[in-house]
Amino acid sequence: MNKNTRVFHVNGKAHEEQIREAARILKEGGLVAFPTETVYGLGADALNEKAVMQIFEAKGRPADNPLIVHVDSRENCMKLVRNIPEKALLLMDEFWPGPLTIIMKRKEIVPDVTTGGLDTVAVRIPENSVAIALIKYSGKPIAAPSANLSGKPSPTTAGHVLRDLSGRIDAIIDGGDVTIGLESTVIDMTSEVPAILRPGKVSKEEIEGCIGEVKIGYDDKVHPESETVRSPGMKYTHYSPESNVVLVEGEHDPVVSRTKELIADFNLRNAKIGLLLTEESRSSFPGILSYSLGNKNEPEQAAKNLFFGLRYLDEQKVDIIIVDGSFRKDGIGMAVFNRVRKAADMIIKV
């Protein structure tokens, strides 16, 4: 793995030409990172085994962790799946294009490497014009996990992708920052009661408003040993920077006091500290290295800032990152907490 990673910027005039060139690389079995509305994805032709195998290699991703296949239209989705439940069609009507990944039975044309050997496949249509153009020009369904080294926080900028994967992939399309900042909601439509396997921007309530009862098929802990988890990706370490992460979860006042105690403690041990704080907490910690998660009542801001903040503090080579968990837990807030809990080495509830 020693590739010359080309960078295509798509803000200027050459836009279409650049995306066509990236699509050509995909068509020929190469790896191209690209922006979506959720995070940056690392794409390969989902039907080309060799190409898909390179994704696992480049990311250091375990082979039994299946990939999400990105398509540009419902028609092209139908080429990949069979026995489609009526409710899955309703979800497509309501949420596609958008940050909802739907798991259905796969057709034979989808290779084992793409699905981790499962007889199901995860599909979505992204809501990002660069991503859609890339898929369209390539004429292929594109398998694309997040474009980070396995276990690291997902990339929300092209810079993050380059830091992790430069030299390991053929190209990246730099389309600026992503809009959401967290990966898609994943729902399994092959079980009797549909199951949410990963929370995201599309909430359980919104899904239930569309198709009725669904169950939660994930929890917020890492399962290093478990063989029985429904979504293979759930058992691996996730979103972890090099630094140790401590999450302090609760209402504003107790979170601030507990964080002050922790800082005093870590200072005694000469640890370099970085804080991920809500705007409301920032004035309580003057002079300490911190990054803002945004307003505590607007979890969309925390979604957008979380992975950026973890990576930023990591680059400052802090030993400990303390995360202020006093932002709202509803809507996308639930998905943000899911990611922080998975990233955390220690969770303190106050």
Give the binding site for ligand AMP (CB under 6 A).
65-68, 103, 115, 118, 120-122, 145-146, 183, 186, 197-198, 231-233
Q: Under a CB-based contact definition with an 8 Å cutoff, are residues 52 and 114 in contact?
A: yes
Give the nearest distance from C-beta 36 to ligand AMP in angstroms: 10
345 and 244 Cβ atoms separated by less than 8 Å? yes
The answer to whether the peptide bond before residue 224 is cis (omega within 30 degrees of 0) is no
**Residue with smaller CB distance to Mg ion, 38 or 146:** 146
Q: Is 272 helix (H, G, I), strand (E, B) or coil?
A: coil
Q: Which of 115, 128, 146, 305 binds Mg ion (CB under 5 A)?
A: 146
E strand or H helix at 256? helix 252-268
Three-point CA angle 51, 165, 274, nearest 5°: 145
| CA 159/CA 125 separation, integer angstroms | 24
Q: CB under 5 A: which stretch of 94-102, 127-135, 145-153, 303-311 binds Mg ion?
A: 145-153
Distance CA 207, CA 102 (A): 12
Give whichever of 277 and 336 is closer to ligand AMP, judged by the CB atom: 336
Least gap, CB of 254 to Mg ion (angstroms): 32
- Closest distance to ligand AMP from the beta carbon of 103 (Å): 5
Complex with Mg ion: residue 311 or 328, whichever CB lies closer? 311
Residue 146 CB, nearest distance to ligand AMP (Å)? 4
Give the CA distances from residue 200 to residues 150, 185, 259, in Å, rounded to whole numbers and listed in that order.
19, 4, 27
- Tally of CA atoms within 13 A in the half-sphere of 331 that contains its CB: 11
Nearer to Mg ion, 7 or 149 (CB): 149
76 binds, among ligand AMP, Mg ion, none (CB under 5 to 8 A by kind): none
Min dist CB 61 to Mg ion, Å, is 8
Whose Cβ is closer to ligand AMP: residue 231's or residue 278's?
231
Q: Which residues bind Mg ion (CB under 5 A)?
A: 145-146
